Structure 1
Amino acid sequence: MELRPWSLSAADLELVREAAADDLIPITAVSATYSREAATRFVERQWQRATDRTGYPMVIVRRRDNTPLGSIGLWLKDIDEGRASLGYWVVRSARGHGVAARALEAMATWALEELHIPRLQLYVEPWNRASIRTAERAGFECEGLLRSWQKVGDRRRDMFMYARLATGTLAEPDRVCTG
């Protein structure tokens, strides 16, 4: 597995098409009625985030055949407060192989050790057991439930807040995050 910037290649546009059709990936900002134009705009928004230095959006790629499997991003909206957030998704055809956890571990290690960001955080819907396992495998610890935290689609959703600190473990080892 490796991470690379988005491109307008046929493979990346196909990745966006598969994600857009996936009910578990509602945050791609591409309508379920896929079009090449919408996918192109999605990729261009990823480039703009990198240009604006608001984030580092990357494609998760299977190394052996260069197949795009998903997306991961490091978002810098709160960098002035010493924290950044991460988000990730893997298309249905690539799930269940630990791809997201390896990508999250790689991106988190880079952000903590190379960019020297003190705190990384991510949000997971309580029902999403696979994403909870992914976050925990990558060294993130649950800090609590944020009620009605984020709008996903047309509804506000509860989210578990997970964090990983540059200093290692969080202060209090017992967590309240159970779905």
Structure 2
Amino acid sequence: MAAVREAAADPYIPLVTSVPVPYTHAEGLAFVARQHDRAARGVGYSFAVADGRAVGQIGLWPARDGGAVIGYWVVRSARGRGVAGRALAAVAGWGLDVLRLDLLTLRVEPWNEPSIRAATRVGFERSGSVSMEVGGVDREMWVYTLLP
């Protein structure tokens, strides 16, 4: 629960996720339960990012076209140690090799250089950009894709 509490205090993570703000222990437990329930409902797969303890979340959300979108976050206290890249490599490999997905996509804001580095190290390539609402504001997101 410490990772969810720290994520809720981050100025950006709650804008792009369903991490609860304000954070309470009950809301944190409900967030974890929702993540756990996604696979059972067939709407996606959510995993903890761990580095000796939970430090983030990564999810794979299948699309109707045979591909999937990946999203992830890591709490500030665990950044800079490569945990996002290792989690991304593991989930991307699982999605392509085990789930046999045709295409993986992720969206990153142009300023988020650590996330861009993690994606490109795994083999994702920039394929375009889209406009997405983040925190009530339209923002440019760079689209990165990975093929089998």
The TM-score, its normalising length taken from structure 2, stands at 0.94
Deviates further, 91-100 or 19-28: 19-28
Give the 5 Å matches for 1:19-30: 19-25=7-13, 26-30=15-19
What is the rounded CA distance, in whole Å, between the counterparts of 2:47 and 2:20 in structure 1?
Answer: 20
1:40 to 23, 29, 35: 29
- Tell me, yes or no, if structure 1 residue 59 matches structure 2 residue 48: yes
1:84 equivalent among 68, 76, 89: 68
The residue number in structure 2 matching 1:68 is 54
Corresponding residue SS for 1:81: coil
Deviation of the 1:165 alpha carbon: 0.2
Partner of 2:136: 154
Q: Secondary structure at the match of 2:87?
A: helix
Deviations 1:142-170 (A, max 9, x none): 00121x2x22112121110000001xxxx
Q: Which runs of 5+ in 1 are unaligned?
A: 1-12, 167-179
Match of 1:50 in 2: 39
Structure 1 runs of 4+ aligned residues shifted over 6 Å read none
Name the SS of the counterpart of 1:30 in structure 2. Answer: coil
Structure richer in helix, relative to its length: 2
2:5 is the alignment partner of 1:17: yes
Matched, 1:95 2:79: yes
Q: Give the structure with higher Rg (CA).
A: 1
Q: CA RMSD in A?
A: 1.2
Q: Give the Cα separation in 2 of the matches to 1:161 and 1:53.
A: 24
User: Match for 1:84: what amino acid?
Assistant: A
Give the Å deviation of 1:53. 1.3
* Offset of residue 72 of structure 1: 0.5
The letter for the 2-side match of 1:164 is: L
d(CA) in 2 for partners of 1:74, 1:140: 15
Assess if the C-alpha contact under 8 Å between 1:20 and 1:28 holds in 2.
no
